[in-house]
DNA sequence: AAAAAAT
C-alpha cells in the first residue's frame, strides 16, 4: 500500500517536470512498466479535454538520459530553479498529491499518443520561441493567434471585434499562455514585464468565462492596489466588453458607503481592497457567487498591511469553484509561498525571467553628489533632452510638493500627484498628464505600478527607489507595449551602497553598466533609507 | 521606512 502511494507521487513529479519545456528536451527516464496503470488513467481522463494533452506519455518517448542523471541535470541547467520551484508548488497542492489510482489497464491508441506527443513538442518549442516558462501539471497549449480564441474556445464575435478595434493584433507572450490557462479553469500566477499586456490577459478570459450578463450578483472581482489603477482597469474592461451588456462597476467611495449591491446587479466589480472590505463588512456586497478573482499587482497586495484585507476578501469569495489568479511584473518568493497556500493546482507562467525590468527601456544612472545636485541635474536634463511627457518619482509626499514648488517657476507645465490630494485632484492630475496638458508629472509611488501613460518616454527617479521591485515598476511606466523608453536614476552619495542592486537589474535587462559598478559590494536594501535633505533652495524663514 | 489603502 505504501509503495503504491510512493509510485504515484513519483509519477506525479515526473509529470510536472515534463511539462516544462526545458525538461522535454533534457529527457527523463520513465518506467512505464511500473507506472503504466497511472498513465492509462491519466490518458483516459485527459482525452475528455480535446486540447489538453497528457504530458506523461511524452516522458517515455524522450528518454535518452538515465533516471538519476535527470536529477543532477536539474541542478545544473539554467532554467532549473524555476522548474524546481514549480515542482514545489505542486508538492503542496492537494490535487497534485492525489495521483491517479492503479487498476485501469486500458491501452492507449498509438496514433493518438503520437499526435499528443507532437502537440506537446510544438507547445514546448513555441513557448521557447516566446520566452514563456511554465510549470504546473498539464498546461494548456499557448495561443498562436487571437483567432484561436474562437476556433478553440468559441469566443463570441463582440470580443474579437473589440480586439481588432482596440488594435490588439498579435497576443503578447503573457496573453498567449495565461488566457488558455484561465479558460481551462486553472488557477494561475503570472509574471511578465511591465507594459506587456497583463490586463488583457486576465480581462479577456474573464469576459469569455462569464459569457453573458446575469443577475446572480457579483461574479468577478478584480483587486488593484491603488484607486488610479482600479479606474484604469475599469476603463480597459469596459472597452473590451463593448457590445455586451455586462454590468461592470468600479468601487468608488460613494458605492462603498451607500451602494447596495443586492439592488444593483453587477457582473464585474473592480476595487481597491479596503473599500471592498468595507462593503463586505456593511453587508452591502455578497461575494459568495464570485467565479473569478484577479489580484493585480499581486506582490503589492500581498505586502503586510494590505494582506490582511486581501485575506478577508478571499475568504468572502466562498464559491468552491472560484478561479483565482495573480498577476504582476515582480513575483518575490514570499508571494509565491502565500499563493501556494491559497491556490490549488495552479499553473505558473513566467515570461522572460522573474523580476526583470523591461528590455525596451534605456536605463541610465546619474550621479548628483548631494541633494542640491539633483535639482541642477533635473534642470540640466530637461535642457539637454526635452522629451515630454516626463514622469518624475520622489520618495515622499512632502518631497513631491517641494519639487513641484521648485519646478513651477521654470516655465514648464508641471503637476504633482500623491495621496494627500483629494480624489478629484488625483484624477485631474492623471487626466491632464494623459491629455498632454501636463509635461512633467511629479509622483510618489502611487502611480509606480500598473499605470499606463501611453506617451511617457522618460522616467526620472529623482529619489533613488526603495527596492528592486519599486525600480522595475517605476521605470516600467515608460517603454510600454514594445515601445522605446528611457529611465534616468539619480543617485547621491547616500545611495551608493544600494547602487549595485540597480546595476544588476540594468545589466540583466541588457543595459550597459560601467564595470566599477558591478564591482561594488553587494548590499541588501536597508530598511532605514537615508534621511534626505530638503529639496527647496529657497532660504528658510 | 514611506506610501497606499476607509471613514
What pLDDT score does A11 carry?
39
Q: How far is the CA of A459 from the C1' of B7 (A)?
A: 35
Q: Which residue has the higher pLDDT, A531 or A133?
A: A133
Cα→Cα distances A282→A262, A277, A285, A323, Å = 12, 9, 8, 25
Which residues, at least 6 apart from A64, have a Cβ–Cβ distance to it below 8 Å? Answer: A27
What sign for the dihedral angle of Cα A60, A62, A66, A72?
Answer: negative
Evaluate whether the domain defined by A148-351 bears CATH number 3.50.50.60: no
What pLDDT score does A538 carry?
57
Query: Which nucleotides of strand B come closer than 7 angstroms to any CB of the protein?
Result: 1-7
| Domain spans, chain A | 2-130, 148-351, 361-518
What pLDDT score does A426 carry?
95
* Tens digits of residue pLDDT in A187-196: 999 999 999 9
The answer to which of A148-157, A235-244, A517-526 has the lowest mean pLDDT is A517-526
**Is the shortest CB-to-strand distance from A58 to strand B under 7 Å?**
no
The answer to which of A3-7, A49-53, A351-355, A376-380 has the lowest mean pLDDT is A49-53
DSSP code per residue over A183-226: HTT--EEEE--TTS-HHHHHHHHHHHHH-S--SSS--EEEE-SS
What pLDDT score does A176 carry?
97
Q: Is pLDDT at A197 greater than 90 in this prediction?
A: yes
Q: Which residue has the higher pLDDT, A178 or A7?
A: A178
What pLDDT score does A507 carry?
93
**Is the shortest CB-to-strand distance from A231 to strand B under 7 Å?**
no
What pLDDT score does A419 carry?
95
A256: nt with nearest C1' to CA? B6
Give one word for A210, left, alpha or beta, with left for phi > 0 and alpha for psi -120 to 50.
alpha
What pLDDT score does A527 carry?
61
What pLDDT score does A45 carry?
37
- Dmax over Cα atoms in chain A, in whole Å? 89
Q: Is pLDDT at A296 greater than 50 in this prediction?
A: yes
How many CB atoms are closer than 10 A to CB A453? 18
* Tens digits of residue pLDDT in A418-448: 999 999 999 999 999 999 999 999 999 999 9
| Length of chain A as a residue count | 541
A275: nt with nearest C1' to CA? B6
The residue that minimises its CA distance to C1' of B5 is A274
**Beta carbons of A298 and A335 less than 8 angstroms apart:** yes
Give the mean pLDDT of A64-80.
Answer: 33
**Is the shortest CB-to-strand distance from A396 to strand B under 7 Å?**
yes
Which residues, at least 6 apart from A146, have a Cβ–Cβ distance to it below 8 Å? Answer: A160, A163, A168, A169, A170, A171
**Is the shortest CB-to-strand distance from A473 to strand B under 7 Å?**
no
What pLDDT score does A106 carry?
54
* Tens digits of residue pLDDT in A5-46: 444 433 333 333 333 333 322 323 333 333 334 434 333 333
Q: How far is the CA of A216 from the C1' of B4 (A)?
A: 32
**Is the shortest CB-to-strand distance from A445 to strand B under 7 Å?**
yes
* Two domains, one topology: A148-351 and A361-518: yes
Give the mean pLDDT of A202-215.
Answer: 93
**Is the shortest CB-to-strand distance from A100 to strand B under 7 Å?**
no
Cα→Cα distances A467→A287, A355, A463, A471, A498, Å = 34, 12, 12, 6, 9
Instruction: Please state which CATH class domain A361-518 belongs to.
Output: alpha beta
For A458, the 3-state DSSP assignment is: strand
Specify the residue for cell string 541635474. A377
Q: Is pLDDT at A524 greater than 50 in this prediction?
A: yes
**Is the shortest CB-to-strand distance from A306 to strand B under 7 Å?**
yes
* Tens digits of residue pLDDT in A251-262: 998 888 777 787
What pLDDT score does A99 carry?
41
Separation between Cα atoms, residue A58 and residue A53, nearest integer Å: 9
**Is the shortest CB-to-strand distance from A278 to strand B under 7 Å?**
yes
Distance between the two ends of chain A, CA-based, in angstroms?
83
For A311, the 3-state DSSP assignment is: helix
Separation between Cα atoms, residue A93 and residue A339, nearest integer Å: 11
**Is the shortest CB-to-strand distance from A33 to strand B under 7 Å?**
no
Amino acid at each position: 500500500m505504501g509503495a503504491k502511494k510512493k509510485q504515484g507521487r513519483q509519477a506525479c513529479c515526473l509529470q510536472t517536470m515534463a511539462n516544462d519545456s526545458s525538461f522535454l528536451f533534457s529527457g527523463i527516464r520513465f518506467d512505464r512498466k511500473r507506472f503504466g496503470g497511472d498513465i492509462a488513467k491519466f490518458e483516459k481522463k485527459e482525452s475528455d479535454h480535446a486540447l489538453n494533452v497528457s504530458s506523461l506519455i511524452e516522458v517515455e518517448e524522450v528518454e535518452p538520459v538515465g533516471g538519476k542523471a535527470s536529477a543532477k541535470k536539474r541542478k545544473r541547467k539554467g532554467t532549473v530553479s524555476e522548474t524546481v520551484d514549480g515542482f514545489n508548488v505542486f508538492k503542496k497542492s492537494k490535487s497534485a498529491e492525489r495521483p491517479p489510482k492503479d487498476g485501469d489497464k486500458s491501452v492507449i491508441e498509438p496514433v493518438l499518443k503520437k499526435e499528443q506527443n507532437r502537440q506537446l513538442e510544438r507547445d514546448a518549442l513555441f513557448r521557447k520561441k516566446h520566452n514563456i516558462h511554465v510549470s504546473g501539471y498539464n498546461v494548456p497549449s499557448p495561443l498562436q493567434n487571437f483567432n484561436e480564441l474562437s476556433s478553440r474556445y468559441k469566443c463570441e464575435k463582440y470580443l474579437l471585434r473589440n480586439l481588432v478595434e482596440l488594435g490588439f493584433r498579435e497576443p503578447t507572450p503573457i496573453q498567449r499562455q495565461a488566457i488558455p490557462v484561465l479558460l481551462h479553469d486553472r488557477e494561475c500566477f503570472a509574471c511578465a514585464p511591465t507594459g506587456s499586456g497583463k490586463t488583457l490577459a486576465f480581462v479577456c478570459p474573464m469576459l469569455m468565462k462569464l459569457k453573458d450578463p446575469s443577475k446572480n450578483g457579483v461574479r468577478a472581482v478584480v483587486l488593484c492596489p491603488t484607486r488610479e489603477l482600479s479606474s484604469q482597469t475599469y476603463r480597459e474592461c469596459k472597452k473590451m466588453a463593448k457590445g455586451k451588456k455586462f454590468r461592470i462597476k468600479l468601487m468608488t467611495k460613494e458605492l462603498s458607503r451607500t451602494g447596495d449591491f443586492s439592488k444593483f446587479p453587477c457582473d464585474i466589480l473592480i476595487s481597491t481592497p479596503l473599500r471592498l472590505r468595507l462593503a463586505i463588512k456593511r453587508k452591502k456586497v455578497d461575494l459568495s457567487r464570485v467565479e473569478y478573482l484577479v489580484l493585480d499587482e499581486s506582490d503589492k497586495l500581498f505586502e503586510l498591511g494590505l494582506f490582511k484585507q486581501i485575506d478577508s476578501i478571499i475568504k468572502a469569495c466562498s464559491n468552491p469553484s472560484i478561479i483565482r489568479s495573480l498577476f504582476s511584473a515582480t513575483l518575490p518568493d514570499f508571494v509565491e509561498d502565500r499563493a501556494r497556500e491559497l491556490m490549488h493546482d495552479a499553473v505558473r507562467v513566467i515570461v522572460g525571467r522573474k523580476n526583470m525590468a523591461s528590455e525596451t527601456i534605456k536605463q541610465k544612472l546619474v550621479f548628483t553628489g548631494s541633494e542640491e545636485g539633483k535639482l541642477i541635474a533635473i534642470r540640466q536634463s530637461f535642457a539637454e533632452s526635452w522629451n515630454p511627457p516626463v514622469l518624475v518619482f520622489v520618495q515622499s509626499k512632502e518631497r513631491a510638493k517641494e519639487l513641484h514648488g521648485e519646478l513651477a517657476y521654470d516655465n514648464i507645465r508641471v503637476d504633482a500627484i500623491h495621496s494627500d490630494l483629494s480624489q478629484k485632484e488625483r484624477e485631474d492630475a492623471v487626466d491632464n498628464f494623459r491629455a498632454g496638458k501636463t509635461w512633467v508629472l511629479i509622483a510618489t509611488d502611487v502611480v509606480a505600478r500598473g499605470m499606463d501613460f501611453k506617451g511617457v518616454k522618460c522616467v526620472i527617479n529623482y529619489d533613488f527607489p526603495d527596492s528592486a521591485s519599486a525600480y522595475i515598476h517605476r521605470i516600467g511606466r515608460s517603454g510600454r507595449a514594445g515601445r522605446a523608453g528611457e529611465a534616468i536614476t539619480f543617485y547621491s552619495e547616500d545611495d551608493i551602497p544600494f547602487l549595485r542592486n540597480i546595476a544588476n537589474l540594468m545589466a540583466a535587462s541588457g543595459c550597459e553598466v560601467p564595470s566599477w559598478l558591478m564591482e561594488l559590494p553587494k548590499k541588501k536594501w536597508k530598511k532605514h533609507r537615508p534621511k534626505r535633505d530638503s529639496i527647496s533652495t529657497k532660504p528658510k524663514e
